[in-house]
Amino acid sequence: MKRHSSSQSLLAAGFLILAVIVAVFIWQPIRTQVSDLSETLEGRNVALEQLQSELAHLQTVSVNLPVAETERTRILKAVPLGFNQDNLVNDLDALAKRVDIDLNAMSFSQPSVHESFQSIAITANFTGRYSDLLALLEALETNSRLLKVASIGVQLSEVNEEGEQLMNFSVTLEAYYQ
């Protein structure tokens, strides 16, 4: 009988050692992986909720847009999806050429997000006459993309060959986007 009980003790000890080995080498790494995957899942769920919220907002905006395709196109051109930095540079360059003023430099600031709109600030430097500044401001008001003049700085420059006083204009604009 002692033999039977000692072999059961050895068998029980063997199972115990096997259970410890399984716990240490298999269960613990799997538990760590499950924990990491849970954290990843939580992060992705948060991102999904944000995307769903943005999608709902865009669907609301889409529903509120006018039905006529030409009107929708006009609005999307005035306030495009994304700030389209490349198109913005091309628009301002074309606008400067249209009013015959020199665009010297342009810089962008960090996009800002408000409750009801998104915008990016642009500082553009031009060289021209006072009448060119007035033509530029009129062109900005009638531009197809919605732009708001936030500030204007004027500095006298050299006199050109015709004897006209040139000025450097620093114009800070806000461009809106969806």
pLDDT confidence bin for 29, thresholds 50/70/90: confident
From the number of C-beta atoms within 10 Å of its C-beta (0-12, 13-18, 19+), residue 173 rates as buried
pLDDT digits (tens, 9 = 90+) for 150-167: 899 999 878 777 778 888
pLDDT confidence bin for 76, thresholds 50/70/90: low
Q: How far apart are CA 48 and CA 59, in angstroms?
A: 16
The CATH architecture to which 80-177 belongs is 2-Layer Sandwich (3.30)
Beta bridge partners of 123: 107, 172
pLDDT digits (tens, 9 = 90+) for 99-111: 888 888 888 887 6
pLDDT confidence bin for 16, thresholds 50/70/90: confident
User: Are 107 and 122 a contacting pair, CB within 8 Å?
Assistant: yes
pLDDT digits (tens, 9 = 90+) for 112-161: 666 566 777 888 999 888 888 899 889 888 877 777 888 999 998 787 77
Quick one: angle between helices 130-142 and 85-98, nearest 10?
130
Mean pLDDT of the chain: 78
At 144, give phi and psi (nearest 5°): -70, -30
Beta bridge partners of 112: 119
